[in-house]
Structure 1
Amino acid sequence: MPKTPLAMNDDVSPDPAPEAPARFDTPETRYVNRELSWLSFNRRVLAEAENEAFPLLERLRFLSISASNLDEFVMIRVAGLEGQASRGLETLGIDGRDPQQQLEAIREQMGALVVRQQRVLDDLRRLLALEGIWIATFEDLDEGQKGWLRDYFESDILPLITPQAIDPSHPFPFVANFGAGVIFRLKRGKRKADLMEMVLIPTAAPRFVRVPGEKAIYVSIEQLVVEFAELLFPGFKILGDGLFRVLRDSDIEVEEEAEDLVRFFRTAIQRRRRGNVVLLELDDECDEVAEALLREQFEVDEEMTVKTSGMLGLADLAAVCSEPRPDLKFTPFSPRYPERILAHDGDCFSAIREKDIVIHHPYESFEVVVDFLRQAARDPAVVSIKQTLYRAGDQSPVIAALIEAAENGKAVTAVVELKARFDEERNLQWATELERAGVQVIYGFTEWKTHAKVSLVVRRDEDGYATYCHFGTGNYHPVNARIYTDFSYFTADPALGRDAAKMFNFVTGYIEPTDLEKLAISPIGLQDKLYELIDREIANAAKGKPAGIWAKMNSITNQGVIDKLYEASAAGVEIVLVVRGICSLRAGVPGLSDNISVKSIIGRFLEHSRMWAFANGADLPSKKADVWITSADAMSRNLEHRVEVMVPVTNKTVHDQLVDQVMLANILDTERSWRLGADGQYERMRVGEDGFNCHEYFMENPSLSGRGNALKAHDVPRLTLKGEHT
């Protein structure tokens, strides 16, 4: 069996060589803490904001993404740990740390990350200014620009804001999640006591105001509130001020005894807006009296307070990225529409009947998914549609197609997941729209999320009823489909159709599926199927046969799966994992995971597709490989607390596309890859003269299953393990 590809690649930075522990019988020596691994992932995202090979506005976008990621991490993960610690719970992380120990480690790393974010912003501000885009401080502006901003403040901002005194007759105002404002300490006349006033930043106003002119000058709204405070408080002397921003606990825990999920979530969404403050952000020049008041009123201690010398709420910088400067952005990319479907005059059902097809998003258009459902809605031969909905977006063509189908007399069932975090309110709205149109809406299980991405269409073909299925690794979200890499697998395989129908019956009627022919479904069998497939590789290695595993996922934290992979490594199975985000597995540790290599790809597109390939007695890649795509990560929440599907791929062309094209390109990538070392740290892989960029490869080359006869002449470079493209 050849060595793993990552070990063969000369462009890989050498592994650190820490002294390996002699024993691996403690959690700390076997696993990496989930939260600290996530912080490592967000550092890799932030590193792309420092990547000089990227256009400047794209670098600013990565800074915004890293800040948005960190906000969500605080609102969910940190809030959860703080709740456990405050209740005295001793729930241990996979590495054996209790909640308080995890919080201490998180805060140390978070502090360094916030400092680094501000340093990156300073660098990008300077570089963008050279290109005529100013993220300005008020001191940067000339008198004419200041005058325009004063007029703008009086006409557009002043009517939106309401100063609120804070004293015994004026209780401390409520500040919503993500709420930001300025607190002032004032003096008036001979009044002895200082007066405290709060001005909340109006959410209806843009965070950044663009000053008219050839140069793109952006000024944050909170600066205007501070600079023009005399318009708010005429006759007062301003003794001090301070900017602040709050993040609140935003997790929603579903009560198992909840009798009405819709009513529960409508109430829970309101509660979330008023959750406990878990982080108070302040500018480092915040008035001391104001800071003390804020900390007292929000009931946060020093550990839950972050002070920064820079800008608060960096996620809002995404607004500046919309500046029309194509020279400072990635070259526009238009997804391909698969030629094989066009060869059938756009008839999705005809193309799928001919043979299976995988659409590789975002390189191939999400419109295929929409067209599949639109055609089903309008085709007189289609009798029923069943659809899972986890995230669908604001303006969802998928929802529109389901409504049209119901209005056209089809039997339409939609499984709407109310527990899709931060999409609960939108999903409630979609559920109402669907029910109004006559769609049968199901909310699934109280305790489990329905995370599987499945469409099931029953059509009356010439030879009887036939099922057409779509299995996805991502969401039915048209915006995400332009950014996230995912698979959309279309098939008319009757066995997969029968299994998909059983999955829907499980969700809608609690009828546990038995005698599944091909699908594996969690939480009732998917994890066991993974163990079975890994055990087969272990057995093959014991017999001296080639044994290997390639897998791609967003996160791996499930202890059982990790231990099974350690067992396979010890048996001699060569394992290559492409894990974008959290990785609790320790890779390349002598005596524990010698035969496991892990890499993370961070770049223009967000890696989101999930698949497994098992050698099955032949060296990978090969025609014999056992290939599966899945909606599930190797996390306990996916394998034990969600309804997920794992789908075998047997069609030759689709099989080759996934193994020889998609998986191999990810393994060979060096230009967007980070390698996980035995010490648990990631190191960027060097580009070098022979560097390979998997994103560029997919943008430039059609997929194998989608190219059709019209593109047979297109010479798609064939990839090999040694990085040769023939």
Structure 2
Amino acid sequence: MLINKVSDQIKRSKYISRDLSWLRFNYRVLDQARDTNKGFFDRLKFIAITSSNLDEFFMIRVGSLYNYLDYGKERTDYSGLRELPFRKKLLDYAHRFVNDQYLTFNNELKPVFAKNGCDILKMSELTEIEQKKADSYFKNTIYPLLTPMVYDNYHGFPLLMNQLLTFGVVTRTTEELKAQDRVTFVQIPQNLGRFYEINRKDKIVFVPIEEIIRTKIKKLFRNVEIVSANLFRITRNGDFTLEESDDMEADFVQEIKSKLKTRKKGRVVRLEIERNPSQFLMKVLKERWVIDNSNVFTINSMMDLRGLWQIIKHRQFKDKGFKQPASVLPLSLPSDGMDMFEYLKEHDVLLHHPYNSMEPVVSMLERAAEDPLVLGIKQTIYRLADQSRVTAALLKAAENGKHVSVLFEVKARFDEERNLREGERLEKAGCFVIYGISKYKTHTKMLMIIRKEGEKVTRYVHIGSGNYNEQTARLYTDVSLLTTNDVYAHDVSEFFNVITGHSRPNEYKYLMTSPKSMRHHLIELIRTEARNAKKGLKSGIVIKINSLEDKEVIDEFYKASKAGVPIKLIVRGICCIRPGREDLSENISVKSIVGEYLEHSRLYYFHNNGDPKVYSGSADIMVRSFDRRIEALFLIMNEELKKEVINILYYNLQDNQNSYIMREDGTYIKKRTGPNEEIVDIHKLFFNRYCHEVKEGELV
């Protein structure tokens, strides 16, 4: 009866639950691992990604829910459910996902390992010689790093690290004629590879390190009876939402550093454990971490599928995965190796990654670091590549006496430590470094190079949807603009003054920013389309984003739909709007594109009665984007570049190989091609430099 009541409540709500929508997104990623048209190692990659995604989901989304539960705060989900019933619904759905994830791994992937030149084996499946090699590896490498941590009446409960594989070993001793069980924890060192590798003639054997330890566990417990030894893994709350200080005078860097330490001690929100664990161990863990069966996930195979990356990236198989085509020149850049400083004086350039390389931006920054005419560089940084060329260029610029201002966002989730480290390097080199802006997260992506050319100073501006990360620029789809247009340059200069000082500009001409006014501007654009529709004028909205969650904007979409505005949404991940509901959203359609590249670009199209307004930038339609982040969307003024972006959206709508159609109930179905339908795969098509020019078709 209660289950039916909860289901009815979810169905009645005019919003889709954010967290349930997120899990449905991970199902679309899992669908890539099930796709037999993909190569084996690509399928392994996607199932490893589902595991990483799920870890973040528990740390952040489930962690956030537990902030409310543990702090006694009230919370009503978009589905209309309060904290406790929603917790049950969410964790039940997560259990269903994990079950399907391991069915895919066990039934569809494991049986074909050997056919692809590899295998995952236990110690008992090795030859005698191979077992001796593994024994030697344990003795010389693993054993010295293992530290048993006992928990009993004399020893406190040890701090177990987040997401590390751990053995919970129950031992029994007889003291004063009375048998007594106790638990000892053995965490597997994180600096060892997940697998011990053995080369055979026909394949490479990967032996999970935990299976080697399991066979040798007695060496850690001499003269003690081992009752059981069970492998488990915990996930801790990594969300700081309710902890973040609003104290504007606090030493913000130190605050972040202290919170990075608390992440290691956060409350446990998930326990993964192998089948048939010791009941004594389970009682200890549940009581200690205040969890119940909903938090416990029984794993019937290899635990933590992220470990598959060691196989995927193995040098033996490096040529077996997806082969990315060579990047093509942007339509707005006629040839490679041009002098960008000269070219940008007369032309704007639109980059569409990964189809267009990020090289024009990085090489221009590197040249600016050495150019004696360059006076200064200003940049926002959210995420960087390992051994970043961007950091190297900024360091070189500072060494060459140029003014360098960098805003490092130290709240970039899971990149906090790296950004702090890189920021400190730049500070030591003489750069002016800002570590975020108090309660706001700086998510916008901007770069400005100031260059003195004769009597004139020219500002070269780069602004886009993606990070200054050369590695992810080859994996994420993003859009960015290079320009010397004075209006963009003025807006960006003003914006830097806002985020580095206390400036409050009245308005920007080509920028739409948050937290000040982005929601208001987007709502006004939606309302303009609704007014046009009511007047019988042509109208339409097409938006491509990562996530759609803000209720105020969703309500405006509903009103515009009722007014007759066709609204086409391309939302990769979380989507809280209900498309196609009678008398609410009949003119709204939603699709999600999930495939070889991570769809990361944000594009906003408003028909505007035949004079389209098109924006790109860093912001999704989320509460955090509007209220808790510093974001910017930029208006695309150049008519040729506007046509190019409209065509990007057009082909996104036409894609029928990576697309999932969202139904009114929040579920998704894979789009299939008809017998005579042309195949449109945007992850291949955009590598054709001229594909944007094929269609000038209207979007709406």
Q: Deviations over 1:217-256 (max 9, x none)?
A: 1121111111122333344443211111111111234211
Task: Specify the alignment match of 1:72 in structure 2.
Answer: 56
Task: Specify the alignment match of 2:31 in structure 1.
Answer: 47
Q: 1:542 to 1:340 in 2, by over 3 A?
A: closer
Task: Specify the alignment match of 1:633 in structure 2.
Answer: 620
Shift of 1:302: 2.6
Which consecutive residues of structure 1, in runs of 5 or more, have no partner in the other structure? 1-22, 619-623, 705-715
Q: What amino acid is aligned across from residue 351 of structure 2 in structure 1?
A: I
Task: Specify the alignment match of 2:162 in structure 1.
Answer: 177
Distance 1:281 1:684 in 2: 30
Structure 1 residue 354 corresponds to structure 2 residue 340: no
Q: Is the 8 A contact 2:374 2:452 kept in 1?
A: yes
Task: Specify the alignment match of 1:35 in structure 2.
Answer: 19
Task: Specify the alignment match of 1:486 in structure 2.
Answer: 478
Distance 1:637 1:205 in 2: 38
Q: Is the 8 A contact 1:541 1:547 kept in 2?
A: yes
Q: Deviations over 1:112-137 (max 9, x none)?
A: 01111111111211112222211223
Task: Specify the alignment match of 1:7 in structure 2.
Answer: none
Task: Specify the alignment match of 1:256 in structure 2.
Answer: 246
Task: Specify the alignment match of 2:311 in structure 1.
Answer: 320
State which drifts further: 342-351 or 225-234.
342-351
Q: 1:280 to 1:490 in 2, by over 3 A?
A: same
State which drifts further: 409-418 or 288-297.
288-297
Shift of 1:547: 0.5
Distance 2:35 2:673 in 1: 12
Distance 2:699 2:495 in 1: 41
Structure 1 residue 674 corresponds to structure 2 residue 660: yes
RMSD: 2.3
Q: 1:229 to 1:444 in 2, by over 3 A?
A: closer
Q: Deviations over 1:465-518 (max 9, x none)?
A: 121110010111122111110112111110111111111111111212213222
Q: What amino acid is aligned across from residue 658 of structure 2 in structure 1?
A: R
Q: 1:165 to 1:288 in 2, by over 3 A?
A: same
Q: Is the 8 A contact 1:241 1:290 kept in 2?
A: no
* TM-score in terms of structure 2 length: 0.93
Distance 1:700 1:217 in 2: 40
Percent identity over the alignment is 35
Shift of 1:300: 2.6
Shift of 1:293: 2.2
Q: Is the 8 A contact 1:49 1:58 kept in 2?
A: yes
Shift of 1:195: 4.7
Instruction: Pick the aligned partner of 1:164 from 142, 149, 169.
Output: 149
Task: Specify the alignment match of 1:549 in structure 2.
Answer: 541
Q: 1:197 to 1:89 in 2, by over 3 A?
A: closer
Task: Specify the alignment match of 1:384 in structure 2.
Answer: 376
For residue 49 of structure 1, give the secondary structure of its aligned residue in structure 2: helix
Q: Deviations over 1:545-590 (max 9, x none)?
A: 2101111000000011111111111111111110000000001112
Shift of 1:593: 0.7
Instruction: Pick the aligned partner of 2:280 from 266, 269, 289.
Output: 289
Distance 1:333 1:344 in 2: 17
Q: 1:543 to 1:364 in 2, by over 3 A?
A: same
Task: Specify the alignment match of 1:232 in structure 2.
Answer: 220
Q: Deviations over 1:598-657 (max 9, x none)?
A: 000000000000011111213xxxxx3211102100001001111111101121221111
Q: Is the 8 A contact 1:393 1:479 kept in 2?
A: yes
Q: Deviations over 1:316-356 (max 9, x none)?
A: 22221113325641124333355865747432222222211
Q: Is the 8 A contact 2:328 2:689 kept in 1?
A: no
Shift of 1:187: 4.5
Task: Specify the alignment match of 1:590 in structure 2.
Answer: 582
For residue 243 of structure 1, give the secondary structure of its aligned residue in structure 2: strand
Instruction: Pick the aligned partner of 1:126 from 111, 122, 126.
Output: 111
Distance 1:314 1:222 in 2: 13
Structure 1 residue 696 corresponds to structure 2 residue 696: no
Instruction: Pick the aligned partner of 1:653 from 637, 640, 644.
Output: 640
Q: 1:207 to 1:614 in 2, by over 3 A?
A: same
State which drifts further: 165-174 or 673-682.
165-174
For residue 580 of structure 2, give the secondary structure of its aligned residue in structure 1: coil
Distance 2:119 2:518 in 1: 52
Shift of 1:189: 8.6
Q: Equivalences for 1:126-525 in 2 at 5 Å? A: 126-187=111-172, 192-214=179-201, 215-252=203-240, 253-257=243-247, 259-323=250-314, 324-325=316-317, 328-336=320-328, 338=330, 343=335, 345-462=337-454, 464-525=456-517
Q: Deviations over 1:664-714 (max 9, x none)?
A: 11100011000001222100001345221110101233576xxxxxxxxxx
Shift of 1:462: 4.2
Q: Is the 8 A contact 1:360 1:703 kept in 2?
A: no
Q: Is the 8 A contact 1:81 1:100 kept in 2?
A: no
Q: Is the 8 A contact 1:668 1:721 kept in 2?
A: no
Instruction: Pick the aligned partner of 1:61 from 41, 45, 48.
Output: 45
Shift of 1:83: 2.0
State which drifts further: 428-437 or 439-448.
439-448
Q: What amino acid is aligned across from residue 612 of structure 2 in structure 1?
A: A
For residue 643 of structure 1, give the secondary structure of its aligned residue in structure 2: strand
Task: Specify the alignment match of 2:3 in structure 1.
Answer: none
For residue 166 of structure 2, give the secondary structure of its aligned residue in structure 1: strand
Distance 1:87 1:164 in 2: 30
Q: 1:344 to 1:213 in 2, by over 3 A?
A: closer
Q: What amino acid is aligned across from residue 226 of structure 1 in structure 2?
A: R
Q: How many residues align?
A: 683
Task: Specify the alignment match of 2:650 in structure 1.
Answer: 664
Q: What amino acid is aligned across from residue 641 of structure 2 in structure 1?
A: V
Q: 1:43 to 1:470 in 2, by over 3 A?
A: same
Task: Specify the alignment match of 1:686 in structure 2.
Answer: 672
Q: Is the 8 A contact 1:361 1:481 kept in 2?
A: yes
Q: 1:216 to 1:717 in 2, by over 3 A?
A: farther
Q: 1:372 to 1:219 in 2, by over 3 A?
A: same
Distance 1:189 1:520 in 2: 72
Q: Is the 8 A contact 2:330 2:352 kept in 1?
A: no
State which drifts further: 495-504 or 204-213.
204-213
Distance 2:301 2:50 in 1: 16
Q: Which structure 1 residue ranges, 4+ long, deviate > 4 Å from structure 2?
A: 187-191, 337-342, 719-723
Which consecutive residues of structure 2, in runs of 5 or more, have no partner in the other structure? 1-7
Shift of 1:101: 2.5
Q: Deviations over 1:367-393 (max 9, x none)?
A: 222112112212222112110011113
Task: Specify the alignment match of 2:567 in structure 1.
Answer: 575
Q: What amino acid is aligned across from residue 183 of structure 1 in structure 2?
A: G
Q: Is the 8 A contact 1:283 1:309 kept in 2?
A: yes
Distance 2:368 2:488 in 1: 18
Q: Is the 8 A contact 1:362 1:486 kept in 2?
A: yes
Distance 1:584 1:340 in 2: 36
Shift of 1:260: 0.3
Q: 1:342 to 1:144 in 2, by over 3 A?
A: farther
Instruction: Pick the aligned partner of 1:117 from 76, 89, 101.
Output: 101
Shift of 1:663: 0.8
For residue 418 of structure 2, give the secondary structure of its aligned residue in structure 1: helix
